[in-house]
Amino acid sequence: MSIATPHIPAATPHAHAAELPPLRVAYESTPLDAILAGADVLAVFGFGTHAPAAHADPRYLRVNLEPADGEAPFEVWRVRGPVRAERRDGIAWAEGDDYAYGAIEVDESAHGDVEGAAEFAYRCLVDAIAASAKPHTLRIWNYLDAINLGAGDAERYRRFCVGRAAGLAAQGFADDYPAATGIGVRDGRRVLQIYWLAARTPGTAFENPRQVSAWRYPRQYGIKAPTFARAMRAPTQQVQVYISGTAAIVGHVSHHHDDFAKQLDETLANIDSVLAAAQVAAAARLDAGAALKAYVRRAEDLDAARRLLGEKLPAQTPTLFLLGDICRSELLVEIDGIQGA
Ligand code: 3EB
C-alpha cells in the first residue's frame, strides 16, 4: 500500500470518460415519504430516536446517534437517476447510473462478538461491491455500540479493527482504502451498522501530511490498524472530496486531552491540511459547498461546538451536530463530511 501522492492532472482537451456527475448531498427537513418520492434519491439517513426507525424503502437508514437539538434534518444523497433499490442477501442496495449505496447491519451475537461481526460484514460488503457494476468504494461509515468498552487490545473499537482487517484480508478493496468514519453509538444494541458509497469509476485516495496514515498506526493503538484513507477525491470533473472522520490526532498521537476547543482547532487544521493535499483551493475549503457532521462526545460541549464552528467556518457551511463516541477515549470531537457537494 503506497501513500497516494497529489498529482497534477494533465490538461485534457475534452471531458474524461471516467468523470461522473457529482453526488449531491443535502440536509433537509422535508417528510421522509416526500423525499423518497424523488426518483433521483440514492439514500436517505435519519438520526436519533425522533427519526423513523425503518422504512420499507431500502434507501432509508436510521443511524442511532442523537442530534444535538433533539431532532435533525434528513441527510439526502441524490444522483443521476432513475434509482433502482432492493434488499438482497442482507444488504440494502440502491443504484443509479454512476453511484451505488449499500448498507449492512450485523448482529454481533450471531458472530460471537464485534470482531466476528466486523469480519463477516466486511467479507459480505467487499464481495458484493466487487461483483456489482459500481465496484469502486469511495466512502464507508461504521457505527457500533459502546465503542470504547474494554481495556487495551480488548477495547471494542480495536476488536472491530481486527475483524475488519480479517474480512478485508481475503479480497480487500479494488483500489486504495476508501475514506471512512468509525463512531460509537449509545443505543445498547450490539448491532454493527455499516453503509457505503461506491462508484462506476475509481476515486483517488489522499493522505494528510500532518497525520500518520491510519493503516500505519504503530502497535500501541491495537493489533490491526484502521484501514481507511484520510480523504477520497471523487471521480468528478469539479473537485469533490469525501473527508474521513477527522480528530485531534497529529502524527499518530491524540492532542489536547480534556480541551474541547483546542481539539476542535486541531481537527479543523487537519481537515484544512487534507483538503489542501486533495487540491481543494484554500478559499473553497469547508465553504457553503460542504456538508459536515460533527460528532461530539460530551453533551456539555455542544454549545461550544456550535459557537466555535460558527466562528471558524463560513456562515453557510451546513453542519449536523450529533452526540457520539470517538474511537479513542481521550478524543472529544470528530468531524467528517464532503467538500464540493
Ligand atoms: C483517527 O483519525 C480517528 O476506524 O474507520 C476516523 C475515521 C477514525 C475512520 C475507522 C477511525 C476510522 O484515527 C478515528
Model confidence pLDDT, tens digit, residues 125-157: 999 999 999 999 999 999 999 999 999 999 999
DSSP 289-314: TEEEEEEES-GGGHHHHHHHHHHHS-
Separation of alpha carbons 123 and 107, rounded Å: 15
Q: Are strands 66-67 and 91-95 parallel, antiparallel or unpaired?
A: unpaired
pLDDT at 13: 40
**Nearest atom (ligand 1) to Cα of 326:** 14
Q: Point out the least confidently predicted range of 2-16, 160-174, 279-293.
A: 2-16
pLDDT bucket at 40, cuts 50 / 70 / 90: very high
**pLDDT, position 81:** 84
Distance 31 CA to ligand 1 centre (A): 32
pLDDT > 70 fraction of the chain, expressed in percent and rounded: 95
* Number of Cβ within a 10 Å radius of residue 92: 20
Mean pLDDT over 222-232 rounds to 97
pLDDT score at 174: 86
Nearest-CA residue for atom 11 of ligand 1: 182
Query: What is the pLDDT, as a whole number, of residue 17?
Result: 54
Give me the pLDDT at residue 192, please: 98
What is the average pLDDT value for the chain, to the nearest integer?
Answer: 94
More reliable by pLDDT, 236 or 341: 236
- Chain centroid to Cα 54, Å, comes to 20
Average pLDDT over residues 307-318: 93
Neighbouring-strand partners of residue 76: 26, 44
Give per-residue pLDDT as tens, 237-273.
999 999 999 999 999 999 999 999 999 999 999 999 9
pLDDT of residue 34: 98
Q: Which domains does the chain have, with CATH numbers?
A: 24-339 (3.30.1330.40)
CA of 39 from ligand 1 middle (Å) equals: 33
Predicted confidence at residue 170, as pLDDT, reads 82
For residue 226, the ligand 1 atom closest to its alpha carbon is: 4
Give the residue, by CA position, lying nearest to ligand 1 atom 10: 182
Helices and strands per DSSP (H, E), number in the chain = 5, 20
**pLDDT at residue 11 tops 50:** no
State residue 7's pLDDT score. Answer: 44
Measured in Å, residue 22 CA sits from the centre of ligand 1 at: 25
Residue 75, number of CB atoms within 10 A of its CB: 20
Burial 103-121 (b: 16+ CB within 10 A, else e): bbbbebeebeebbbbbbbb
* Rounded distance from Cα 210 to ligand 1 centre (Å): 15
What residue's CA is closest to ligand 1, atom 12?
182
Pocket of ligand 1 (CB under 6 A): 142, 180-182, 214, 226, 228, 244-245, 247, 249, 327
Q: Which residues are catalytic?
A: 334
Q: Give pLDDT tens digits for 53-95.
A: 999 999 999 999 999 988 899 999 999 989 999 999 999 999 9
Residue 14 has pLDDT above 80, yes or no: no
Res 178 pLDDT > 60: yes
Question: What is the pLDDT at residue 171?
Answer: 87
